[in-house]
Amino acid sequence: MTAQPAMAKTATPQTFRTTGALTFLTDTGIITLRNVRRMARTPQMLYFASIQSVVFIIVFRYVFGGAIRTPSYFDLKKGRL
């Protein structure tokens, strides 16, 4: 028969997570800084982050061009929506 190692009881770590505007802004800043640093190391990410998103907007404009009607300036001027 083989001996089984004794399982030591470990305390579960307590995490303190706060919510609020300050936490949101801090977390957003940290994630943005990480992404900017990664873009500096790999210039291809600059392409995927900027140019590709513009291309998608242009392509989707022509694919879904008339699918959604939005009010124009003239509709607002005449009082219609």
pTM over 0.85: no
What secondary structure letter does DSSP report for 51? I
Distance CA 53, CA 45 (A): 12
Q: Could you report the average pLDDT of every consecutive run of 10 residues in the chain (81 residues)?
A: 64 69 91 88 80 85 74 68 55
**What is the pLDDT at residue 13?**
63
**What is the pLDDT at residue 34?**
92
**What is the pLDDT at residue 67?**
72
Please report which helix (H) or strand (E) contains residue 54, including its range: helix 52-63
